[in-house]
């Protein structure tokens, strides 16, 4: 409910000019880049994690959107008008802080990201993965208030998806859409977010047959790239990775899309995906869900709040109260210390990244506000 949600972030070191240069080097040549990348990671986690020297606090669109969604959940639970008022404050911030120069309203991370040696997104680039959080907040807020400016904003986001998120591949069965506003790369969870966004548009736009067809084709792609064990690779190629929170992204987007547009055999797809996550990522000793099943690079992280927050969210969406209650206790025990919430437990058992809202305090708050609904 604060007016200022600026914070430090686990990505701070990689937003510096040195961090960007080292990432570019790593993706050009991993053998040359792994040592400086390791040194920067060590500096960030063990020398600068408390003082945050050289870093600048920043506001993030996804944090504002998730704060709004959590407040709307609390309003629905309590009917306390103050929650809805503050949700609107966050929505107003979002409407004033959109990506510039694109058709329709959209949002990105708000900082430069190096993806590979030949793919770098600047801080203004909007994404198919970030924008749905703002869209969902607008949708839920409009369902309560019916305010016309909110409806206009939803329709403007539809224009962004129609004109800026591009088709990488389409045939009679599947539709694969871009991550950002050009034909950049195929990412499984990005397609799932676009699918969910279009299911929201289905409520508001006139061309419902066209929209439903797109949703069903994107869902068909997600079914096709689900592995036999129920998992999804981050990108559907053999060089990709499988981690917990991206797996949960795909699951929650299928679950929420199916609540609006019925998806054929989605119960089986969801069940197999959920069983995979529960069995493959769960650590019995801590009661937490670990980072990776298949890694693509070394990591100093043992447990990440983001993975566990998204798993908590999925468990609640599926009405799995047993897992949700058990995981809530484990999160409280493992990530809280002296009234602060930390984002990671490192490989030595140390808590790092205190009160970093984007990653992953706000996803935890949002998951915590979510009722077990089924």
Q: What is the pLDDT of residues 186-226, one digit of tens each?
A: 999 999 999 999 999 999 999 999 999 999 999 999 999 99
3-state secondary structure of 169: strand
**Can you give the pLDDT at residue 338?**
95
**Can you give the pLDDT at residue 256?**
98
**Can you give the pLDDT at residue 295?**
92
- Distance, in Å, from the CA atom of 26 to the CA atom of 243, rounded to the nearest integer, reads 21
Read off the pTM: 0.98
Helix (H) or strand (E) run with residue 195 in it: helix 188-201
* HEC sequence for 298-336: CCCEEEEHHHHHHHHHHHHHCCCHHHHHHHHHHHHHHHE
**Is residue 237 over pLDDT 90?**
no
Q: Which residue has the tokens 């034909």?
A: 183
3-state helix, strand, coil in the chain (%, to 5): 55, 10, 35
**Can you give the pLDDT at residue 374?**
67
- Distance, in Å, from the CA atom of 182 to the CA atom of 168, rounded to the nearest integer, reads 9
Which residues, other chains included, contact 368 with Cβ-Cβ below 8 Å and sequence gap of 6+? Answer: 70, 312, 328
Q: Please report the domains of the chain, with CATH numbers, ordered by start residue.
A: 61-225 (1.50.10.20), 230-374 (1.50.10.10)
**Can you give the pLDDT at residue 186?**
97
Question: How high does pLDDT run on average in the chain?
Answer: 97
**Is residue 63 over pLDDT 80?**
yes
**Is residue 373 over pLDDT 70?**
yes
Which residues, other chains included, contact 55 with Cβ-Cβ below 8 Å and sequence gap of 6+? Answer: 8, 12, 13, 15, 16, 48
Which residues, other chains included, contact 85 with Cβ-Cβ below 8 Å and sequence gap of 6+? Answer: none
Query: What percent of the chain shows pLDDT beyond 70?
Result: 100
Q: How many helices (H) and strands (E) does the chain have?
A: 14, 12
């Amino acid at each position: 409910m604060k007016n200022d949600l600026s914070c430090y972030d686990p990505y701070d070191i990689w937003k510096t000019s040195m961090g960007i240069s080292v990432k570019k080097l790593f993706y050009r040549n991993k053998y040359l880049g792994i040592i400086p990348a390791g040194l920067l990671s060590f500096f960030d986690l063990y020398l600068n994690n408390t003082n945050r020297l050289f870093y600048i606090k920043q506001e993030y669109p996804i944090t504002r959107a998730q704060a709004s969604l959590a407040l709307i959940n609390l309003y629905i639970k309590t009917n306390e008008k103050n929650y809805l008022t503050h949700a609107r404050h966050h929505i107003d911030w979002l409407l004033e802080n959109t990506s510039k120069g694109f058709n329709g309203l959209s949002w990105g991370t708000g900082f430069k990201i190096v993806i590979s040696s030949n793919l770098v997104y600047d801080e203004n680039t909007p994404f198919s993965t970030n924008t749905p959080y703002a869209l969902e907040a607008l949708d839920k807020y409009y369902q309560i208030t019916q305010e016309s400016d909110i409806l206009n904003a939803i329709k403007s986001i539809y224009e962004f998806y129609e004109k800026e998120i591009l088709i990488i591949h389409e045939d009679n069965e599947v539709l694969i859409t871009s991550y950002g506003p050009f034909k950049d790369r195929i990412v499984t969870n990005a397609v799932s977010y676009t699918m969910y966004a279009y299911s929201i548009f289905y409520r508001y736009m006139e061309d419902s047959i066209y929209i439903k067809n797109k949703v069903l084709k994107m869902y068909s792609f997600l079914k096709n790239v689900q592995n036999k064990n129920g998992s999804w690779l981050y990108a559907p190629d053999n060089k990709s990775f499988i981690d917990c929170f991206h797996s949960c992204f795909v699951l929650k987007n299928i679950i929420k899309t199916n609540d609006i547009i019925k998806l054929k055999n989605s119960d089986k797809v969801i069940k197999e995906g959920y069983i995979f996550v529960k069995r493959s990522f769960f650590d019995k000793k801590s009661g937490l869900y670990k980072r990776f099943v298949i890694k693509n690079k070394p990591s100093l992280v043992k447990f990440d709040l983001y993975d566990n927050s998204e798993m908590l969210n999925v468990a609640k969406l599926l009405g799995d109260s047993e897992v949700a209650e058990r995981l809530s206790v484990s999160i409280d025990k493992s990530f809280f210390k002296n009234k602060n919430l930390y984002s990671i437990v490192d490989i030595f058992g140390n808590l790092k990244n205190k009160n970093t809202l984007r990653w992953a305090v706000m996803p935890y708050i949002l998951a915590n506000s979510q009722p077990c609904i089924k």
